[in-house]
Chain A
Amino acid sequence: MSVTSEFTKGLYKQNPVFKQALGLCPTLAVSNSVESALGMGVAVTFVLLCSNSIISLIRKIVPAKIRIPIYIVVIATFVTIVDLSMAGFLPALHKTLGIFVPLIVVNCIILGRAEAYAGKNNIGLSIIDGLGMGIGFTMALLLLGTIREFMGNGSFMGIPVMGPAFEPVLIMILPPGAFLTIGFVLGFFNWLENKRAK
């Protein structure tokens, strides 16, 4: 179990969105533009890093029976920090992400990593694990955000790239586009995996 593999497993092999199907609600909801995808990804990575390190530090003094409520309080604390800082420094982004900022609390990736990893490993490994998973999540969001913004709006990060003749596929930035995009992206990864297995 090397440090590098602990970091890279979150990027592809155990990617939280594509491989474990965790944290789907925010993935679908905020991936209609690259900008909000990036904002959400960074916010989740920050919370994941902080909660993983704290939970790893307190793992020996937390009684096993009430560990889940304790984990949730730790996570909710950091989510509140992110929520308030974002409202203060990036009010426009905070408005776009809406209730999905406080909803990071119930993002199953964070509690999942706390339960499956940080509660059992030391702080160094837990930080690396959190960073890897957070970046994996951000990459998944960026991939979906890029596809949807490009097809639905003909732009990347708000900058038009397709020229005036491009007719945007409006459905892609509407809610159904999120379901369709993630369906096809998951199918593509399965196809890739099947091909590699042969």
Chain B
Amino acid sequence: MDLQNLLVISLGVIFINNFVFARFLGICPYIGVSKQLDSAIGMGAAVTFVLTLASTVTWLIYTYLLSPSPANLFFKLFGGSAPPDLTFLKTIAFILVIAALVQFVEMVIQKTSPALYKSLGIYLPLITTNCAILGAALLNIDQGYTFIESVVHGISAGIGFALALLLMAGIREKLEMAEVPKAMKGIPIAFIMAGLMAIAFLGFSGLKLGN
């Protein structure tokens, strides 16, 4: 297996192309849920979980139902002269799959682990409109990742998001004590902090991964 390639994708999306700092995906929950460390951990875990699942499922749907490849299931079942090209349905199909997936995950967790549901539950409905999820699904397709690559990309994107969220929550808990000018309190200073952290993460772009 091409382990090195997977490692490159994984480290790349955690540090160099971090979803929050370099791609601007998932900013709303990033600013909204980073006030306390506890909720940041819950949100980070929930996003990583759903991102992994969504990357897996959307890749399968795109490859076997939408893309005009010989593997297209409609083509296999119904035949015809050429595989149908349904890629224009990508956006609609993905967002519906993600919405259904989030609902499903919520129900499963609620039934199987009430404790986990208590800590993650309130974040799950928010995740449907988190652009990191749809963004990762679309990026997988744009970059032409294989199945394994997509799954690794999804997990790593979630880890990168959780990392950014945790770092931010740690700083914001301390920031509560700091003397910030009145006008900059709350969201504005959080953005300035995010900007400084993004500058730090920009340093990772000097990393050369792979050949």
Q: Is the CB of A190 within 8 A of B183?
A: yes
Q: Is B146 close to A, CB under 8 A?
A: no
Q: Is the CB of A187 within 8 A of B95?
A: no
| B87 vs chain A, min Cβ distance (A) | 10
Contacts of A21 in B (CB 8 A): 28, 31, 187
Contacts of B181 in A (CB 8 A): 187
Q: Is the CB of B202 within 8 A of A102?
A: no
- Given A25-B27, A183-B191, residue A194 in contact with residue B92 (CB < 8 A): no
- Given A72-B96, A187-B184, residue A103 in contact with residue B138 (CB < 8 A): yes
Q: Is the CB of B202 within 8 A of A176?
A: yes
Kindly specify which of B46-54, B69-77, B107-115, B126-134 makes contact with the partner chain. Answer: B126-134
| Residue in B25, B134, B189 whose CB lies within 8 Å of A102 | B134
Q: Which residue of A lies closest to B25 (CB)?
A: A25
Q: Which residue of A lies closest to B89 (CB)?
A: A80
Q: Is the CB of B27 within 8 A of A79?
A: no
| Residue in A26, A182, A191 whose CB lies within 8 Å of B191 | A182
Interface of A is mostly: helix
Q: Considering the complex, which residues of chain B in the window 146-202 have a beta carbon less than 8 Å from any beta carbon of chain A?
A: 181-185, 187-192, 194-196, 198-199, 202
Q: Is the CB of A99 within 8 A of B24?
A: no
Contacts of B134 in A (CB 8 A): 102-103, 105-106
| A111 vs chain B, min Cβ distance (A) | 6
Binary interface encoding of chain B residues 18-34 relative to chain A, with 1 for a CB under 8 A from any of its CBs, else 0: 00011111111001000
For the complex, what is the distance from the CA of A180 to the CA of B26, rounded to whole Å? Answer: 17
Q: Is A178 close to B, CB under 8 A?
A: yes
Binary interface encoding of chain A residues 12-31 relative to chain B, with 1 for a CB under 8 A from any of its CBs, else 0: 00000000011011101100
- Given A29-B23, A179-B194, residue A24 in contact with residue B31 (CB < 8 A): yes
Q: Which residue of B lies closest to A105 (CB)?
A: B95
For the complex, what is the distance from the CA of A72 to the CA of B98, rounded to whole Å? Answer: 11
| Residue in B88, B90, B142, B192 whose CB lies within 8 Å of A179 | B192
Q: Is B139 close to A, CB under 8 A?
A: yes
- Given A106-B130, A179-B194, A188-B183, residue A84 in contact with residue B28 (CB < 8 A): no
Q: Which residue of B lies closest to A83 (CB)?
A: B91
Binary interface encoding of chain A residues 151-175 relative to chain B, with 1 for a CB under 8 A from any of its CBs, else 0: 0000000000000000000010011
Chain A positions within 8 Å of B, measured between CB atoms, are 21-22, 24-26, 28-29, 68-69, 72-73, 76-77, 79-80, 83-84, 98-99, 102-103, 105-108, 111, 171, 174-180, 182-184, 186-188, 190-191, 194
Chain B positions within 8 Å of A, measured between CB atoms, are 21-28, 31, 88-92, 95-96, 99, 128-131, 134-135, 138-139, 142, 181-185, 187-192, 194-196, 198-199, 202
| 18 further A-B pairs in the complex, CB-CB below 8 A; given A22-B28, A76-B92 | A21-B31, A24-B28, A77-B92, A80-B88, A80-B89, A80-B91, A98-B142, A103-B131, A106-B131, A106-B134, A178-B195, A179-B191, A180-B195, A183-B184, A183-B188, A190-B184, A191-B183, A194-B183
Q: Can you name 30 A-B pairs with beta carbons within 8 Å?
A: A24-B28, A25-B24, A25-B26, A25-B27, A25-B28, A25-B131, A69-B96, A72-B95, A73-B96, A76-B91, A80-B92, A99-B135, A102-B138, A106-B95, A106-B129, A108-B28, A111-B129, A175-B22, A176-B21, A176-B199, A176-B202, A178-B24, A179-B192, A179-B195, A183-B184, A183-B189, A183-B194, A186-B188, A190-B188, A191-B183
